[in-house]
Amino acid sequence: MLKFFARYKTFAIVFFILSVIIIYIIYTLKVPNEKLPVYQPDMVNAELVDSTVQYVRKYHKIADFDLVNQNGDTITEEDYKDKIYIADFFFTTCLTICPIMTDHMIKIQEKIKNDDEVLLLSHTVFPVADSVPVLKEYALEKGVIDEKWNLVTGDKKEIYELARKSYLATKSTGDGGPYDMIHTENFILVDKNRQIRGFYDGTDPKAIESLMHDLKVLKGEQH
């Protein structure tokens, strides 16, 4: 009996290895790679979208922009070329959701600080008060890494048009003219093609976990 098992030992090992490989291949074929949706304006709450783009169903991308960061440097879409980035809207004197959002963005910064593919971009919705020196002071206080995270200010109309027409992330107050907005808690995940791939509640730790998971998925998808 021992001779029998010894004779077929090699065969059994080879058969086992082949079985594992075959099972793995079958499982891989049955389970497709995870892929994130590409968000279009007509997929988003109409309150967050400018009426001129509400019914767009394809080809939506973040528009070109020309803003100024906490160091007084001009920041455009070229600074985010071939990068995945996470965007949001805030203002430095906000005492409600902004501090929580900023704390979560700081945690994200820590996780991606050595990742050359990923950047952060925060737009003030109160540019009349959030000047370059104010943003710089805020950046220093919060521990912003300049190479990873731009806090940007600029023309109010441009910022709000980006928010409403590109990032689909703010509501109109309805009482202060076309360029008075209520910013949401949304973090927006943008891919290397300047397309929106996800929205996340920047005040919710669970949503931040989902964002980090989706970031990993997106990186795999864009490789």
Q: Which residues are annotated as a binding site?
A: 94, 98, 183
66 CB-near residues (< 8 Å, 6+ apart): 74, 75, 76, 154, 158
CA dihedral 49→53→55→59, nearest 10 degrees, is -110
Q: What is the DSSP letter of 31?
A: S
Q: Order the strands of the 118-124 sheet from edge to edge.
A: 149-152, 118-124, 84-90, 186-190, 196-201
Burial class (CB in 10 A: 0-12, 13-18, 19+), 37: exposed
Distances, alpha carbon 11 to alpha carbons 1, 7, 15, in Å:
16, 8, 6
Residues within the annotated binding site for Cu cation? 94, 98, 183
Q: Count the helix, strand and coil residues of the chain and give each as a percent rounded to the nearest 5.
A: 40, 20, 40
